[in-house]
Amino acid sequence: MIQARLLRQFIAVAEELHFGRAAARLNMAQPPLSQAIKHLEQIVGVPLFTRSRHFVELTPAGTVFLSEARELLAAGQRAIDAARDASSGPSGRVTIGFVGSVSFEILPRILRELRRRFSAIRIELRELASTEQMESLAAGRIDVGIVRLPISNAADFSVREICSERFVAALPKDHPRAKARVLRLKDLAGEPFMNFPPDRIPALHTKVLLACEAAGFSPHVAMEAWQTASMVSLVAAGMGVALVPAQVRNCSHPKVVFKTIADRSEHLELKIAAVWHPDRVSSGVRAVLSVLDEI
C-alpha cells in the first residue's frame, strides 16, 4: 500500500512540474523529495516523470497515476471525515473557490455562519475566475466553487443557484452623471469603459457588451481588469467607467460612486451559484451546502 505522504509528494511535483517549487510547497528539502519520487516509481514499477536539467514532465503513466492519486487521497479524507462526523460533527478541511466580487457580501456571510455552526472545519479560500474554478474542481484542487453562471461542463457537476444581482455603474466621483437621480446605460455612451478580459471572465465580458448593445451603443473599452477591486481603482483614477456586480458597492471608495441602472435589460442580471463534484461530497462539503441553503 502506498503511503499518503508519497502520494502528496507526487501530486506536488506533478502540479508544479519543478522539484524545487514542489519541495518549497511541501516545506522540505529537494534531495529527499527526489528520492521519494524515485522510491514511488520503484513501487509502481514504471517511470512517472521524464526529467532533464531544464524540465520535468509527466509520462503517460504519470498522468494516469495523478488522477488515481488524487482520488485515493480524497477517498482517504472522506473516510476520516465520515468517522469524525459520526463522532462529533463535521470537521476536516474544505477548500472553497470564489469569484472576487462575492468577497464583498456573500462570502463573509458564508464564513460567519460556518464559523458559528461548524467551528471544527478548517476553511481554505482560493480566489479564482469561474472557468478556473471548474478546472480546479475537476482536478480536485478545490471542494466547492462559488461561480457566476453560465459555466461550461455544468453537466459534470452539481450546481445550486445561490442568488441573483444586477450590474451597477461605477463612476468617478467628479463624473457629470455622478449626482444624477436616474442613470440609464445610454447616458454612458462615448465614455471609456473598463471591462473584464474575455479569456478569464467570458460571461461578464459578454454581458457588458450585450447590455451596452441593448442600450444602443458599442462601448469603447479602454482597459481590462479581471479583479473587481482593481477595476474600482481604475475608475477612481479617472480611467473610465465600469459595470460591476452590485455587491461591489460594499467596497466603498472615496473617489467612486455606484449608481443603479434604470434599464430593464436581461443582460444586466447576474446569477451566482455553488458548484461541487457529485462524487466528492465530504462532511465538510455537506456543511458548506447546508449553510448555503440557509443564507
pLDDT, tens only, 255-281: 999 999 999 999 999 999 999 999 888
Contact 250, 104 (CB under 8 A): yes
pLDDT, tens only, 151-173: 877 778 999 999 899 999 999 99
Average the pLDDT over 228-243 and give the result: 93
> In which band, very low, low, confident or very high, does the pLDDT at 90 lie, cut at 50, 70 and 90?
low
> In which band, very low, low, confident or very high, does the pLDDT at 87 lie, cut at 50, 70 and 90?
low
Looking at domain 4-72, its CATH architecture is Orthogonal Bundle (1.10)
- Is it the case that residue 88 has pLDDT exceeding 80? no
pLDDT, tens only, 23-82: 999 999 999 999 999 999 999 999 999 998 788 999 999 999 999 999 888 888 777 766
Residue in this structure with the C-alpha cell 441602472, named with its chain if needed: 261
Average the pLDDT over 186-200 and give the result: 93
Q: Given this chain, do its domains 90-162+271-294 and 164-269 carry the same CATH topology?
A: yes
| Residue % of the chain over a pLDDT of 90 | 67
pLDDT, tens only, 114-146: 999 898 889 999 999 898 999 999 988 999 999
| Domain at 90-162+271-294: CATH code | 3.40.190.10
Average the pLDDT over 178-192 and give the result: 93
Question: Tell me, what amino acid is at 121?
Answer: I
> In which band, very low, low, confident or very high, does the pLDDT at 86 lie, cut at 50, 70 and 90?
low
d(CA 234, CA 225): 9
- Is it the case that residue 183 has pLDDT exceeding 90? yes
pLDDT, tens only, 282-291: 888 999 999 9
Q: Give pLDDT, residue 91.
A: 66
> In which band, very low, low, confident or very high, does the pLDDT at 193 lie, cut at 50, 70 and 90?
very high
Q: How many CB atoms are closer than 10 A to CB 148?
A: 21
Domain positions in the chain are 4-72, 90-162+271-294, 164-269
| Domain at 164-269: CATH code | 3.40.190.10
H, E, C per residue of the chain? CCCHHHHHHHHHHHHHCCHHHHHHHCCCCHHHHHHHHHHHHHHHCCCCEEECCCCEEECHHHHHHHHHHHHHHHHHHHHHHHHHHHHHCCCEEEEEEECHHHHHCHHHHHHHHHHHHCCCEEEEEEECCHHHHHHHHHHCCCCEEEEECCCCCHHHCEEEEEEEEEEEEEEECCCCCCCCCCECHHHHCCCEEEECCCCCCHHHHHHHHHHHHHCCCCCEEEEECCCHHHHHHHHHCCCCEEEEEHHHHHCCCCCEEEEEECCCCHHHEEEEEEEECCCCCCHHHHHHHHHHHHC
Residue in this structure with the C-alpha cell 461578464, named with its chain if needed: 204
